[in-house]
Amino acid sequence: MTEIIIIDTRNPQETKTIQVAPENKINQECLIGRDSRCCIVLNDKLASRTHGKIAFRHGSYFYCDLGSRNGSKINNKNVQVNQEYLLEPSDTIALGNHLLWVKAIAEEETAFAVQLTTPAQYMPLATIDTASLETWTQGTKQVKCVQIVDETFDVKTFTFICEPPVKFDYHPGQFLTLNLNIDGKNIKHCYSVSSTPSRPHTIEITVKRVTAPDNEPIALEELVSNWLHDNLKVGSQITVNAPMGKFTNFANPSAKLFLLCAGSGITPMMSMSRWICDTVSNVDIVFFYSARSPQDIIFRQELEMMSSRYPNFKLAISVTRSVAGQPWYGYRGRINEQILLAIAPDYQDRTVYVCGPNPFMEATKKLLQKMNFPQENYYEESFREANKKQKPIPTLPAVDPTFIIQKPVPAPATIAEARLAVPATRIVTARASHSTSPSSLVVLSKSGQEVACDGKQSILDAAEAEGAALPFGCRRGECGACKVKKIAGEVSYDDNVACEDGFIYTCVARPVGRVVIEA
């Protein structure tokens, strides 16, 4: 814990003394700025909403400027953005009209500082033969979080390594599947990798905190993303599946790209762009990003650096909201024909990748169709689940302890009509057999388990709700990880799905009547 005296230079007679303990926070960081969610809130127009932070690292305290508008000073010396500076007693941090004087640092806290004295501790890759490292391309690995960066006030980048080290080998734009235990439940969720395989010793995901309306159930995306923000910290270990997915520029090589993204949809685009820039590939990129406001621009500094350093990288950013105190001189509003022609007049000659919220992708696709863009050069990725409406996290229904699970029996030959009711799943029991029959039934041939559903729920969702473990990846019918053999019956899809004959994608396939799968 460190004691800090806050002085407002506009009224220096009034001071405020606070105790700051970032080590007790989830990420071991305390934010400073005008935003009411910061640990230290400054009523100062010269301070940014999230101006800087005090971080606890290896038993010591550090200050870091998070790209503030007017900068920061320590002991009257300018500090570099995103660079952590060790704090000592009597140091003074200047932010806008305020001074933060470090009065004291508890000795018992600094006594636990980790002394990194050997190269094997502070630079382990320099002490081993990296050519002998395992190249990881499939299966699962336990990874360790080594860094957390606040990209915006509600977006964080988590950096992971393996111990012992491995080389992460994947295609830019692919996604990573996280295997988490949340409140005693094993949950898997996918995030696009924001890092690039050209930097193989670490792998990163960039996650936005999700806020859903109060009257809606908690969706998987909200549950997992907010759990990561609130619980994952430096040193935490999780299990992940190797990256996979078809949304990558490797699958469709092109000399001219047009990347359009909004919100968190920027992550796979950054992976592709970083790889192209790192490898100095002769690829021309037009990068369009839509954000709500200037403070919501993810990777803003890096994007601007790439635009200034790489002549083949052309950046265009548009904001959809005006915010007082945040001047903006770029594009405003949503993507339209005028903006598109201004930033990519040769759009017809480019391969287009689109990623972001569904409304953004739908509007972008309609716009390109209206402008006669060749759809064979159009690729999109959505972070939403396959179903249009998010469903709550599936849970096992309560079962009367007197119920007896019925042994698998042949289903009726007739196929019941799929009813468009609210998705529901129940356990087939002897006592329940007299109730209304389910409209669809999925039989897992290897275990003999029968999964009842109403025909609207996907096979994967229904199976998970009854405790059956089926393989999956993206949950959008794109990666192929959930593909299983269909032995009998028919399924339906919301959209056209290109799946090998005799097989189905369980994450998006809905059973019609009785379906038997090899699982």
Kindly state the greatest CA–CA separation across the chain. 86
Output the pLDDT for position 468. Answer: 86
Of 52-66, 268-282, 348-362, minimum mean pLDDT range: 52-66
Confidence of residue 426 (pLDDT cuts 50, 70, 90): very low
Tokens encoding 450: 């029968």
Please name which of 349, 335, 188 lies closest in space to residue 255, comparing C-alpha atoms: 349
Which CATH architecture describes the domain 134-244?
Beta Barrel (2.40)
Output the pLDDT for position 54. Answer: 94
Contact 168, 136 (CB under 8 A): yes
Output the pLDDT for position 478. Answer: 72
Q: Which residues of the chain are in CATH 3.40.50.80 domains?
A: 256-381
Output the pLDDT for position 375. Answer: 95
Contact 370, 274 (CB under 8 A): no
Q: Is the pLDDT reported for residue 386 higher than 70?
A: no
Of 103-117, 157-171, 421-435, minimum mean pLDDT range: 421-435
118 vs 376, higher pLDDT:
376
What mean pLDDT do residues 432-449 have?
70
pLDDT digits (tens, 9 = 90+) for 211-261: 766 666 666 777 899 999 989 999 999 999 999 888 999 999 999 999 999
Q: Which residues of the chain are in CATH 2.40.30.10 domains?
A: 134-244
Q: Is the pLDDT reported for residue 296 higher than 60?
A: yes
Q: Is the pLDDT reported for residue 310 higher than 50?
A: yes
Tokens 């941090």 belong to 93
Bridge partners of residue 314, in order along the sequence: 286
Output the pLDDT for position 420. Answer: 32
Output the pLDDT for position 213. Answer: 62
pLDDT digits (tens, 9 = 90+) for 270-283: 999 999 999 999 99
Q: Is the pLDDT reported for residue 77 higher than 60?
A: yes
Q: What does the buried/exposed string (b/e) look like for 6-36 if buried means 16 or more CB atoms within 10 Å of the residue's CB?
A: bbbeeeeeeeeeeebbbbebebbbbbbbbbe
Pick the CATH number of 2-104 from 3.40.50.1980, 2.40.50.100, 1.20.140.10, 2.60.200.20: 2.60.200.20
> What CA–CA distance (Å, rounded) separates 452 from 511?
10
Output the pLDDT for position 435. Answer: 36
Output the pLDDT for position 111. Answer: 38
Output the pLDDT for position 323. Answer: 76
21 vs 377, higher pLDDT:
377
Tokens encoding 107: 């000795």
Which CATH architecture describes the domain 440-517?
Roll (3.10)
Output the pLDDT for position 276. Answer: 98
Contact 161, 201 (CB under 8 A): yes
205 vs 410, higher pLDDT:
205
Residue 280 to residues 3, 153, 275, 276, 391, Cα–Cα distance (Å)? 48, 32, 8, 6, 43
Residue 74 to residues 45, 78, 96, 249, 493, Cα–Cα distance (Å)? 20, 7, 12, 44, 59
In the CATH scheme, what is the code of domain 256-381?
Answer: 3.40.50.80
Per the prediction, the chain carries an average pLDDT of 84
> What CA–CA distance (Å, rounded) separates 274 from 309?
12
Output the pLDDT for position 424. Answer: 35
Tokens encoding 469: 């473990």
Q: Which residues of the chain are in CATH 2.60.200.20 domains?
A: 2-104
Output the pLDDT for position 414. Answer: 36
